[in-house]
Amino acid sequence: MPSLDDLRKRIVSVKSTQKITKAMKMVAAAKLRKAQENAERGRPYSEKMQNIILNLTDSISDPQNAPKLLIGTGRDQTHLCVVMTSDRGLCGGFNSNICRLAKKYFEKILKEEKNLKIITVGSKGHDQLKREYGKYIIKKLSFKNKKKISFVEANEVGKTILDLFDKNEFDKCILFFNNFKNVMTQIPEAQQIIPTEVKKNSKKNEEIFYEFEPDEDEILEDLLPKNISIQVFKAFLENSASEQGSRMTAMDSATRNAGDLVNKLTINYNRSRQAVITKELIEIISGAESL
In this prediction, residue 50 carries a pLDDT of 81
User: Model-level pTM?
Assistant: 0.85
In this prediction, residue 205 carries a pLDDT of 43
Confidence of residue 209 (pLDDT cuts 50, 70, 90): low
Q: Are residues 232 and 272 in the same domain?
A: no
Q: How many domains are there within the chain?
A: 2
Q: Confirm whether 186 is domain-assigned.
A: yes
The enclosing domain of 9 has a CATH number of 1.10.287.80
- Whether the per-residue pLDDT at 161 is higher than 70: the answer is yes
Task: For residues 231 and 56, give the distance between their C-alpha atoms in angstroms, rounded to a whole number.
Answer: 18
Q: What average pLDDT does range 277-289 have in this prediction?
A: 82
Q: What average pLDDT does range 169-195 have in this prediction?
A: 92
In this prediction, residue 37 carries a pLDDT of 92
Confidence of residue 202 (pLDDT cuts 50, 70, 90): very low
Q: Confirm whether 27 is domain-assigned.
A: no
Of 277, 243, 265, the closest CA to residue 91 belongs to 243
The enclosing domain of 62 has a CATH number of 3.40.1380.10
Q: What average pLDDT does range 100-124 have in this prediction?
A: 94
- Whether the per-residue pLDDT at 213 is higher than 70: the answer is no
Whether 69 contacts 228, CB under 8 Å = yes
Q: What average pLDDT does range 237-249 have in this prediction?
A: 94
Q: Confirm whether 32 is domain-assigned.
A: no
Whether 161 contacts 228, CB under 8 Å = yes
Domain containing residue 262? 4-20+251-290
List Cα–Cα distances, 102 to 80, 97, 99, 128, in angstroms.
11, 9, 5, 11
Question: What DSSP designation does 244 have?
Answer: H
Q: What average pLDDT does range 28-53 have in this prediction?
A: 88
List Cα–Cα distances, 226 to 155, 156, 193, 229, in angstroms.
8, 11, 11, 5
pLDDT above 70: percentage of residues in the chain: 90
Q: Are residues 184 and 270 in the same domain?
A: no
Confidence of residue 108 (pLDDT cuts 50, 70, 90): very high
